[in-house]
Structure 1
Amino acid sequence: MIGCGISKKNIAVGGRQLKVFLSHSSKDKHIVSAVANRLGRSYIVYDDFTFDTAVDFETSIERGLEVSELFVLFASRNSIQSDWVQKELTQAQALRLAGKIDSIAAIIIDDLPIDELPDWLKKARVVSLNSVASITREIQYLFQRRLSQKQSPYFVGRQSEIEEAEAVLSPTSSLDEPHVFSFFGLEGVGRKTLCRHVCANLLSLPKSQTFRIQDGDSLADLVIKIEEDINPSPSIAATKSRISTLEKTSSRDLSVIFERLAKAFVDARELLILQDDGGLLDNDGFVKSEFADMIAIARNSEAIRFAIVSRRKVRFAPPEKGFPCISVGPLKEDDAKRLILRQFRGSKFAITDQQANELAPYVGG
């Protein structure tokens, strides 16, 4: 199963470990449990992981809410009719007004109309998502956003690259907006970091998911990776069966499936990143024939938008139409020094200006 939990770095705010309370109906347990397993039990308040069997359920809810700074409702027709969920909502609202819960969000997981949410909850962050992966990333995003409110993001320099990206990704005419674009450069210089930063600010895509295309990977392999991320198969046997089916599917049809999957990321306001690790581009930088139809369909589709991160600049054979490729070089030494000093600032390890100067030439990004 593809996916990752909440980062173990910087999980405390003001000396208090940041936790997320997952409010849900027991009838939606199959979805919530899958999300909880992806997030990791250390950072969530979830009945199966957290509640003490020796304590009555209502007391466990109260204790769980009191140690949480984030409250997430899995909104559904089931949960909106649950007495326990209503108790949690009432207490969460009170704790929010008291300043003890910092952020509240509702993730609609079925066809529940937003009008059926409590009026006060409609003013919170409300999104409609139906896959375990996209729900997990939404909660991870809320978690990281809360941390970033307390901590300065470690991003410095790159002004020329940002200006170039702005020119090509936010052109003066919407007709010129690219649906596929690339950030290329040596590994370790911050290609993905810059890509995420630019797309969050220019394209309003604050979340992202990266899929690696390794040497030997086929388009069918990529499709199954994305499918498993969006909607994991219930068993290994089901996954094997799906792989067998996709391997018999034409490149054109696989490309259409990819377009549908990529659209799911756009609908969830997520950036899809394809990282070339030798599988997408050949040694000269041309897109391998296996993925040619996928790129052609994507480039002409108004429904999707995704980024490619690669070591080489993508090349195109005439009369093939290309797409924007933004070069990412190593950080300038002054920017690298600022990054080093910022990383160490506030940590238990002290670093002098001289040490930062000595380290700067070795920091690419």
Structure 2
Amino acid sequence: MSKPDPPTRHAIHTFDIDNYLNHIIPRPRFYLLPRPISYWFGYRAPKKTGSTPHPRSVLLNYLFSFLGAFIGIAIIENVFRALPPLSGHPAPLVIASFGAAAILEYNAIESPLSQPRNLIFGHFLAAVVGVGVTKLFALLPAPRFEELRWLAGALSVGIASTVMGFTKTVHPPAGATALLAATTPEMTDLGWWLLPLVLLACALMLASAMLVNNLYKRFPLYWWTPVDLTAMRTEPDVVRARDAERADKDADGGEKDSTSSIGSASASDATLGAPEEGKAESGEGEGEVHVSRPGGEQYDTREKKRLRNIHEDPELKIQIEVDRIVVPDWMGLSQWEIEALEGFQTRLRESIGSGSGSGSGLES
């Protein structure tokens, strides 16, 4: 019996704004600060060996979640109480959406949704959308505007969701920020003054989260992205000219280069370690680079290179084996995450014991 033909591989073209931003975003330099200071910014010295995670006390998790939420909201409320009137309008006691943000910032600190990029830019962009949409609806006569507040609110949340997804700043509580700007008269009266209030609240919550969370865990895990920004730097002009010449040869059907130089991403922003020297990454210019590989031609994008760099970095891997679970030392896991890893390990043992996993030839 003949073997079935392997499935055809198609190039998937996706848009990722980080492919354009990561080249200009500076890498955090907290490792240059004294250790007692950098510690509170989430920096941990990278370790080369993995270790089995140890579960933390669930009661301590609850205690620090309570302390963080209480302290964070209390600070924001008291600072807002001390603010003078803004263009004749008193500042609110608190922006209600930050109650939901406190749950993320003090209870789910390992989530990408709670990192500084999502917290600050998510709320700010949502506030811009909410105020902007409301200002447009406010051009209608006052009675008609009040009738259509529901439409302004729904439209604000929808646009804010799209903007946050496009910019990779998704922060669920920010949807309430956009909604409040359109549907709450107190927030509508503030107008564009809502933007500095949102930024102030974000800064206060982030500062208190860094103080409380780092007493027990690590926060933030990264400031902009977990990807190594040093591997995303733009190449020197000479290297870019050489790669452009190779790309022209490939486009003309000439000699094709069977190899491509890939930057060695040995440390991620999640580790925030000292930068390491690596090879320059080819194809860092705009667009895609056509390369020749065994088994057929395909398009190699910067995103695929970034993923390969991550796969080659032992500090960005979680290994589940029959007798052990290896997790990078910098990565703090919650109790339910540890239980999930142990569940996969149990399934692996059962699979090997029943013989169903042998001889499959598959790699995951």
Whose radius of gyration is greater, 1 or 2? 2
Task: Decide which structure has greater strand share.
Answer: 1
Structure having the larger proportion of residues in helix:
2
For the aligned pair, the TM-score class normalised by the smaller chain equals under 0.3
TM-score by length of 2: 0.24
TM-score under structure 1 length normalisation = 0.23
